[in-house]
Amino acid sequence: MLLENTCVWRPQSLAELRARLKQSSTGTIQFLAGGTDLVPALKRQGRVPELLVALSQIRELAGVKMSPTKDRLLIGPLTKLAQLSREPLIQQHFAVLGQVAGLVASPQIRNQATVGGNIMVDNRCKYYNQSEVDRHSHGGCFKAGGAVCHLIPNATRTSAPVCRARFVSDLAPVLILAHCELVIEGPQGERRIALKDLYHNEGLYGARLNAGEILTRLEIPLPLVGKIRYEKLRIRQAIDFPSLGVALSVRDEGGSEVLDVCLTGVDTRPVSLTFRPSQFATRDDFWQNVAQVSKKSVVPLKQDFFPPQYKREMIAVLLKRLWEGN
């Protein structure tokens, strides 16, 4: 498969990139980091931006550091996932993040894929991540620029386009539970947002920054609030995106355990839930509540290897495993 003709620009430093972004840009820009997700997508969609900005030479955006005040872990978005797993600072202060990075895809992909790319990964759907023949066969969906959602057939163009493409980052739920903040640079200067606010409840664009903006840093306040763990459900123990990912952080609230949960793979965004088991008379009541809340809070659709109902059920199963497996 060939990439359509496009212009690729490879800035050598952040300063060079900043200067370019300040100019009122003509035409569409797409940032290219590791490219493990983007390049296949560009090839398959046959729609490429006018300018592809390859970030690989911007050294300032890669690597893990401790803040001068020693209370924040600073992660460059161009840090490779393989590097994240090996990084001593991560192993010391946020070991689970390194482990979760090691669950992504395969060694070859982890050598190339970046932290920024993982948290900004485009939402996926079996009708969108498809060949041209298949898209002609079914008719292009909203996300592919068409006028239909094959999962929700009665959705039409007259209302807002509907897209339930699912969010599939492994790192995001763990980072969200660690209260990760993003530092974003744009034409108006620098801004900060909580990672959880990056995501929207629709699958069309997934995570998206404003025009001309670039993610320059992830910041994680230390020490971490609770003990964070992650379980990933997928049919193969390598290669696959999460069919479901459950991240759990257990913290103490007045002597009782509080479970902060963040889910991936089952909705258009990472889904944050909080459970207070102490409010239930029995464990069975509690798990029933978890099942009910899971049912209300996430909308998995038939767009993945596993049936939606199974995925929904597995939320409680994995959560139980994480919690009781301490």
Partner 1 sequence: MSYRIVGKKTPYVDAVDKVTGRAKYTDDLRLHHPLRVKIVRSPYANARIVGIDLSAARAVEGVVDFVVGADFRHTFGVLPISKDEPAMAKERVRYVGEPVVAIIAESERAAVQASRLVRVNYEVLKPHLDPQKSLNESTDLIHPELGKKNNLHKSVNQSFGDVVAGLRSADVVVEHQFEFESVTHAFTEPHATQVEWEGENLTVYSATQVPHYLHRALAEVLELPMHRLRVVKPHLGGGFGGKSDPFPHEMIAVKAALKTGRNIRLAFEREEVFYSHHGRHPTKISMKLGVSRDAGIQALDGYMLIDGGAYGSFGVVTTYYNGVLLQGPYNVPNINFHCDRVYTNKPMCGAMRGHGGVNPRFASEVLFDEACVRLKIDPCEMRLKHFHQPNSKTINEFRITSVGIHHGLRNAMAASGWSQKYQKLPFGKGIGVACGFFISGSALPIHWNEMPQSTVRLGIDYDGGVSLYSGASDIGQGSNTMLAQMAAEVLGLPMTMIKVLAADTRHCPIDYGSYSSRVTFMAGNAARNAAIRMRRQLLEAACQLLECEAPIPTPPGEPENFFRQGGRPPDYGALYLGANPNYEDGYLFVDEKIVAPDGREVKYLDAVRKALDFQGALQSKGGYVSPKMGGSFKGAGAGLSPSYSYTAFISEVTVDPATGFVKVDRVTCAHDYGQALNPLAVEGQLQGSIHMGLGQALMEGMRYDDGAVQNASLLEYKIPSPFEMPEVVIVPGSGDECEGPFGAKEVGEGALAPFIPSVANAIYDAVGVRLYSVPLTPDKVLEALRQHAGGAHAP
Q: Provide the binding-site residues for partner 1, judged by CB under 8 A.
A: 1-2, 5, 46, 106, 126, 129-134, 136-138, 233, 235-240, 284, 287, 291, 305-307, 309-310, 313-314, 316-317, 320-321
Q: How far is the CB of 314 from partner 1 (least distance, A)?
A: 6
Q: Give the residue with the Cβ less far from partner 1, 151 or 180.
A: 151
What is the C-alpha separation between 169 and 74, in angstroms, rounded? 19
Q: Give the residue with the Cβ less far from partner 1, 114 or 243.
A: 243
Sheet of 51-54: strand order equals: 7-9, 51-54, 29-32
Tell the burial category of 309 from Cβ atoms under 10 Å away from its Cβ (0-12, 13-18, 19+). Answer: exposed
Q: Give the residue with the Cβ less far from partner 1, 70 or 296.
A: 296
Which residue's entry shows tokens 């539970």? 177
Q: How far is the CB of 65 from partner 1 (least distance, A)?
A: 33
Q: Give the residue with the Cβ less far from partner 1, 65 or 145.
A: 145
Distances in Å between the alpha carbon of 185 and those of 154, 211, 323? 40, 11, 38
Q: How far is the CB of 239 from partner 1 (least distance, A)?
A: 6
Q: Are 109 and 101 in contact (CB under 8 A)?
A: no
Q: How far is the CB of 226 from partner 1 (least distance, A)?
A: 22
Q: Are 195 and 215 in contact (CB under 8 A)?
A: no
Q: How far is the CB of 153 from partner 1 (least distance, A)?
A: 12
Q: Give the residue with the Cβ less far from partner 1, 69 or 237.
A: 237
Q: Give the residue with the Cβ less far from partner 1, 213 or 313.
A: 313
Q: Six-digit token pair at 129?
A: 């991540």
Q: How far is the CB of 126 from partner 1 (least distance, A)?
A: 5
Task: Write down how long the chain is.
Answer: 326
Which residue's entry shows tokens 């199974």? 310
- SS3 call for 73: strand
Amino acid identity of 326?
A: N
What is the C-alpha separation between 150 and 303, in angstroms, rounded? 10
